Chain A
């Protein structure tokens, strides 16, 4: 099956290649290609705009800062621009293929204003696809941050269509999709848990992140395996000009990064680490017994690159993060991600760029409980669990000519699920529960063409062929189908001894984006994407927890499939420094994972008996105004949306709102550069409360008031609206060549809003006959913070 699929795909590839080659030979074009870098530190710039005049050809640099333009011989001016940088103009007399090394310098604030009014830099308008949101670290750092720590995921939450279920909730929801439907890749390796300290911070060190791109719809064909969004995070390469040290000390974290050249202009490295120190600070205030308590998290990012020659560059990057909690010697709990990526960029010719990534990713957690040393019964409980992924991704970009850029490649992924092993020891006697390991493999091949049809039309069309197999070397369970929403009885189990296929699926995923230039700087866009998903985070709590399991699609759980159509318009009106955009989307989701009522997801060998699949649908309207130049910068957006599920036997088999549905959401993230010394920012978020299921009656059973929902409908109520204002001020201190420093003062939740995270019901502690509804707010007060950042 797989072999034949690849054969078909390679045939298509060959056909297309031959055709394009013929085409290319006729045109006899020459190529201007090269890399765009930051002059100060040698970092390549991703998505910089390269415009060649008078030909009018415009291209963007790729994820490795590379671009390639094909032109007939002649004299040209190459303009290279990038948000926040001055424009680079190079005159080229093109008689043979030409390689450029373009270095851009950061624009000073004043200069930026001048440059930008002169040159209309396009952003959303640049890309063919819809639903792309990019954030630079500069923008992320300007958004007021929780406890003064700039945060990638928190910044994303200010964008339209991206929400979370509340403060402290892990992950994020994109356009009515679940948390596990986001593909988060850090330097090409998947990250399974994006949160530190439950959901308060994300695992990405702001000092090491270079670029953040989120695709909410019409994903490029190179991405697959998740249905809701793709968050592509690229880490810095490290300064290849001089040794530099960045750091910060904030209320909760200390950060330090060192970067520098290994060989000037050729290779560099970066090592960035951070650690929280609530535990260190609180130690003197704790009682002696509590001093052994541990509560910290840290992460380490390291990366090195080496330009072997003009044609070959290799990169090695790694990430290791950990959250550690401990209560003396009696309980401990830790979790974290580990990723490693090796990448090799190879230029076959100025027009043919190959990147091959080999990666490894692991998410694991451990916990233990142990009796106190002086306890009369000695007992211990240890539990660990992990998911490991190995992958290879060759990706070829072929800059065919000015009309076509073709991307093709393969993704081969192998999954190793270790759901867990628990060992219980009591008075020297040991017993364990080991959940069966599970294995899966994913093979994908894709082909995509970005086609500039003419001045008005651009098309990005692609196909992705995905094959997923659930593999053996485990016990395969077969269940009988019974009533909906009732635990399925086990029919039989079968020991599959080798890693052969137990069941597999092949999906054909078309991806299409269209762009039409209605008039100058006004574009209409439309897109369609199909995507499929083969692994699921098993979680039926209000917010996912670090101990939730990832579980593959098996013979009992079908992969989920999502189709999304979207359309939008983006315009930069003449004479206004603003970008207006509007997008609508509709998503249809099939075989979305759901749980029977009272599902047992914990340490359950037969967990598949409690899982069911249903349908989902989501639609929405997103409006946004952005201003990325001048003293005032930022964005204001409004989202109207709905996200629903329908699963047989659940909520009377009717459509019900998903846990993360929010009808209205308004975000405003604004910054004001007062002068060279002071910057001010504000962030405001207002949204409808998330749906919740409330009990309307109670059954008194053996003196226990059991909450019961007599409507039998899920998510039949809504929590009160969520709103929050954060402010921050940045004071720049010394800013000379040798040393730069700044102070960031922040106030999170300025007016101490007690937003409802959940509302739950209980009997009054002192008067048990009295029942009450209780609102839980995760943050009930103002959280001030101070951060000191330095750079030398």
Chain B
């Protein structure tokens, strides 16, 4: 979505010619089962979960294999506190109970001891704005265009926090699970670029981006929008991830691997852990459609 210039160009191309998409069989050889981390620490109380997994062949629908036997410790560098994550039910978990591990403004370090080697990653937990409201309207036959369907269209209203550059990850849930029909979105302040929209209301593509016109909401649905604050490196990671994720069309970005922020402390070792460690503050709002 960030490349909205390209997005509009792609729209034109679709508008003009009958391009067509077809699911095809592609014979891909087995890829390497790369070890990777899916480690996101939030400012929410309760359980924090870190997943250490192995990559699976892209087209396989099976779940990734779990890597056990690692020691994972999270350090709050600001408060100098450590949290030992323990392996249970296929994930590494720490239960903070009624407290939260994540505190806005703190820096965190993740240390992984695995396969005889030490790995480390760091991130900063930034502030997040709140969602003011979610508006819902029903669009009938006369209000829709193109491939859009009749149904309930939700719109999110939030305002960027003034001062400083805030990076936000916007995720949409439908009845408690991720809405796969809408795209993942990331914002810089309230728009796509730095230094232009400090303190603005989140711009239209974000406001309207929580509904997919081909799959609008139905009566009885609960729409939840979750905002997650990001550090600049985590923003870059997600921005690149999003580029890879929605890379169809005339101006498809050439596939390039997303980076990892997990470094091997043995600088001469070739062993790697892929994936990302991020610390986020969350805010969310739900709206039931009735």
Residues of chain A at the chain B interface (Cβ within 8 Å): 168-169, 197-198, 200, 278, 287, 289-290, 293, 295, 325, 327, 331, 333, 367, 369, 371, 375, 377, 379, 381, 383, 422, 424, 426-427, 429, 431-433, 540-543, 545-547, 597-598, 602-603, 659, 692-712, 714, 717, 754, 757-763, 765, 768-781
Contacts and interface: CB of A to CB of B under 8 A. Distances in A.
Contacts of B151: none
B191 A779 contact: no
Interface in B1-51: 2-6, 8-9, 11-13, 15-26, 28-34, 36, 38, 40
A710 B32 contact: yes
Contacts of B138: none
Contacts of A777: 19-22
Contacts of B34: 697, 699, 708, 710
19 contacts: A367-B5, A369-B204, A377-B204, A379-B200, A381-B203, A545-B9, A598-B243, A697-B31, A697-B32, A699-B53, A699-B274, A708-B31, A710-B31, A711-B31, A758-B249, A759-B24, A774-B248, A780-B18, A780-B19
A198 B21 contact: no
A706 B245 contact: yes
Interface stretch (B54-62, B76-84, B110-118): B54-62
Contact of B255 (A327, A707, A757, A779): A707
A429 B254 contact: no
A697 B23 contact: no
Return the 3 tightest CB-CB contacts between A and B, nearest first: A696-B31, A780-B20, A697-B31
Given A696-B32, A758-B248, 8 more contacts: A198-B13, A545-B251, A598-B240, A695-B244, A697-B31, A700-B38, A702-B40, A714-B254
B38 to A, nearest CB: 5
A433 B254 contact: no
Contact of B9 (A333, A759, A769): A333
Contacts of B20: 754, 776-777, 780-781
A775 B21 contact: yes
B131 to A, nearest CB: 15
Nearest to A377: B201
B19 A779 contact: yes
Interface of B, helix, strand, loop or mixed by DSSP: loop
Nearest to B34: A710
Given A198-B9, A780-B19, A781-B18, A424 B26 contact: no
Contacts of A700: 38, 53, 63-64
A707 B28 CA distance: 13
Contacts of A694: 26, 28, 255
Given A367-B5, A697-B55, A754 B252 contact: no
Contact of B24 (A200, A290, A773): A773
Contacts of B198: 431
Interface stretch (B97-105, B121-129, B177-185): B177-185
Contact of A771 (B61, B246, B247): B61
Contacts of B3: 602
Contacts of B197: 424, 426, 431
A369 B207 CA distance: 14
Contacts, number: 254
A429 B160 CA distance: 14
Contacts of A327: 8, 11
Contacts of B178: 703, 768
A195 to B, nearest CB: 12
A371 B240 CA distance: 27
Contacts of B207: 377
Nearest to B178: A703
Contact of A696 (B4, B28, B259, B276): B28
B59 A771 contact: yes
B30 A704 contact: no
B57 A542 contact: no
Interface residues of B, number: 84
Contacts of A427: 200-201
B222 interface: no
B195 interface: yes
B288 interface: no
Contacts of B8: 325, 327, 331, 333, 367
A791 to B, nearest CB: 30
B210 interface: no
B113 to A, nearest CB: 21
Contacts of B15: 293, 295
Nearest to A766: B180
B33 to A, nearest CB: 7
A712 B257 contact: yes
B241 interface: yes
B56 A431 contact: no
B64 to A, nearest CB: 6
B251 A543 contact: yes
Given A700-B38, A763-B180, A431 B32 contact: no
A595 to B, nearest CB: 9
Contacts of A699: 34, 36, 38, 53, 55, 64, 258, 274-275
B19 A198 contact: no
A136 to B, nearest CB: 30
B145 interface: yes
A379 B4 CA distance: 16
A696 B180 CA distance: 22
B191 A198 contact: no
A707 B245 contact: yes
Contact of A542 (B244, B250, B274): B250
A757 B250 CA distance: 8
A709 B24 contact: no
Contacts of B19: 757, 776-780
Contacts of B18: 779-781
A708 B254 CA distance: 12
B204 A379 contact: yes
B74 interface: no
Contact of A708 (B6, B63, B145, B258): B258
